[in-house]
Amino acid sequence: MTASEIRALFAVASRPEVVSLAGGMPNLAALPLDALSVEVADLVAREGQVALQYGSAQGVPALREQICEVMRLEGVNADPNDVVVTVGSQMALDLVTRIYCDPGDVVLAEGPSYVGALGSFAAYQARVVHVAMDADGLIPEALRDALRTLGAQGITPKFLYTIPNFHNPAGVTLAVERRSEVLEICAEYGVAVIEDNPYGLLGFSGRVYPALRSMDPGVVYLGSFSKTFASGLRVGWALVPPAVRDRLVLAAESATLCPPSFNQMLVSRYLEGHDWRSQIKTFTEVYRDRRDALLSALETYLPEGCSWNVPDGGFYVWLTVPEGVDTKAMLPRAVTARVAYASGTGFYADGLGSRQLRLSYCYPTPERITEGVRRLAAVLEAELDV
Ligand code: PMP
């Protein structure tokens, strides 16, 4: 598809009669909007001169301290001086790629991987080599094999980009016993590790996994308030080793001068004055109900030959459809049948994924999710009948 085709498809897919299981938009209806509007008014009244002014390129110091407190939940012991606030973690992804990669360099990423990261890698002309996953996340042996194969060609990848928790789009989580193994393999081959972790606190069992960064201070950790608070504020961060930090701050400065003071101060007030931990619990309860609705609808309606994972947190189910169905070719027909999904090909740099698709359960209500899956099942049946 060309960019204009995709735009046209999304315009149709965003019509209210279409059930969109395509996007990863958080459910902000669960936020305490009244309390937040009081906070916004107070921020302008009391601290408007600072909040509406330029700020430090690295980010508001008080917020950087609070970010360290948030990461402590995942066992990360960090110095606020090593935190760089960014405009969403997407900006951190872009800057990190800019710093590490020259055109033609190789980076490793799970297959499939986050479409926004693949976009950043493509923008800097880095070549992505995918590493396979199973139900326990990235497979250490596959990582070793990829590094061996590349090594035989004289290639050392610039980094491994990994989403250890509640993966986008695969929905899986890297098993704890694999975490140190992945780090050891990367250390052995001299490959940096970029840990992208926007969903780590959104586990349905309440379990919080130890961050890779908690096991190795050399890991670059990317975090975000998009899923735990509000994506529209565009506040994310990178925790980086001191040697990388100064280059990252310079790169951030050249991109935006500084992250938005107002948004950072609002996040800081929210963390200070609101029970953000129980808000995260509220979010996960909403998402767990929606996941359950999706899984039960898949079980009820989908034709034989489909398979999917059971995510224990995050936003996504990764679905494999029967042989002969092409999820990219099917998408316009699904949209005509008033259901949208993200076809699997967007999550690979190498054209794989035509038998996969990603379903997001974060935004539609359980009833809409059920209806969406019913429509999807009918479209799949029709494809299989041809
Ligand atoms: N990484 C992953 C894995 C994501 O799923 C997302 C958002 N969909 C991002 C990064 C970017 O998040 P943001 O820029 O909103 O912080």
Q: Encode pLDDT of 258-269 as tens digits.
A: 999 999 999 999
Q: For a ligand 1 pocket test, name from 90, 239, 315, 361 the mutation site with the most ligand atoms within 8 angstroms of its C-beta.
A: 90
Pairwise CA distance, residues 307 & 133, whole Å: 15
Q: How far is CA 227 from CA 157, 184, 342, in A?
A: 30, 30, 19
Q: Tell me: the pLDDT tens digits for 301-360?
A: 999 999 999 999 999 999 999 999 999 999 999 999 999 999 999 999 998 999 999 999
Which residue has a Cα nearest atom 13 of ligand 1? 88
Where residue 345 falls (left for φ over 0; alpha for ψ -120 to 50; beta otherwise) is alpha
Output the pLDDT for position 345. 94
201 alpha carbon to ligand 1 midpoint, in Å?
A: 14
- Rounded to the nearest angstrom, the distance between the alpha carbon of 168 and the centre of ligand 1 is 9
User: Tell me, what's the pLDDT at 30?
Assistant: 87
Asked, as a colleague might, if the bond just before 169 is cis with ω within 30 of 0, I would say yes
Report the nearest atom of ligand 1 relative to the CA of 226.
15
What percent of the chain is modeled with pLDDT above 70?
Answer: 98
Contact 347, 113 (CB under 8 A): yes
**For 292-337, what is the HEC assignment?**
HHHHHHHHHHCCCCCEECCCCECCEEEEECCCCCCHHHHHHHHHHC
| 88-121 pLDDT, tens digit each | 999 999 999 999 999 999 999 999 999 999 999 9
Extended beta strands in 79-234, E state:
83-87, 106-111, 127-134, 137-138, 159-162, 192-196, 220-224
pLDDT in tens, 259-303: 999 999 999 999 999 999 999 999 999 999 999 999 999 999 999
Ligand 1 pocket test: which of 70, 94, 97, 114 has the largest number of ligand atoms within 8 Å of its C-beta? 114
- What's the gap in Å between 58 CA and the centre of ligand 1? 20
Please say if the pLDDT value at position 1 is more than 60: no
Contact 117, 89 (CB under 8 A): no
Q: Write down the pLDDT at residue 11.
A: 80
Per-residue pLDDT tens over the stretch 115-143:
999 999 999 999 999 999 999 999 999 99
Mean pLDDT value across residues 227-231: 96
Question: How many angstroms from the chain centroid is the CA of residue 143?
Answer: 21
Specify the pTM. 0.96
| Mutate which of 196, 201, 220 for ligand 1 pocket (most atoms within 8 A of beta carbon) | 196
ipTM summary value = 0.99
Helix (H) or strand (E) holding 288: helix 276-301
Ligand 1, CB cutoff 6 Å, lining residues:
24, 88-90, 114, 116, 163, 168, 196, 198, 224, 226, 231, 236
The per-residue pLDDT for 2 is 60
In angstroms, what is the span from residue 231 Cα to ligand 1's centroid?
Answer: 9
Q: Token pair for residue 369? A: 């999710």
C-alpha 90 to ligand 1 mean position (Å):
6
The dihedral region occupied by 274, where left means phi > 0, alpha psi between -120 and 50, and beta the remainder, is beta
Given the CA of residue 315, which atom of ligand 1 is nearest to it? 5
User: 107: helix, coil or strand?
Assistant: strand
Å from CA of 278 to ligand 1 middle: 22
Widest Cα–Cα separation across the chain: 66
Give pLDDT, residue 346. Answer: 92
**Which ligand 1 atom lies nearest to the CA of residue 92?**
14
Q: Which atom of ligand 1 is nearest to the CA of 235?
A: 16
Index of the ligand 1 atom closest to the CA of residue 93: 10
Question: Would strands 339-340 and 19-20 be described as parallel, antiparallel, or unpaired?
Answer: parallel
DSSP 354: T
Asked if the model's pLDDT at residue 4 lies above 70, the reply is no
Ligand 1 centre to CA of 139 (Å) is: 23
pLDDT beyond 60 at 229? yes
What are residue 238's phi and psi, to 5 degrees? Answer: -125, 135
What proportions of the chain, in percent to the nearest 5, are helix, strand and coil?
50, 15, 35
- Within 10 angstroms of residue 272's Cβ, the number of other Cβ atoms is 12
Q: Are 299 and 339 in contact (CB under 8 A)?
A: no
pLDDT over 80 at 10, yes or no? no
Closest CA to 237 of 226, 255, 227, 224: 224
Measured from the Cα of 91, ligand 1's closest atom is 14
Instruction: Give residue 4 CA to ligand 1 midpoint distance, Å.
Output: 23
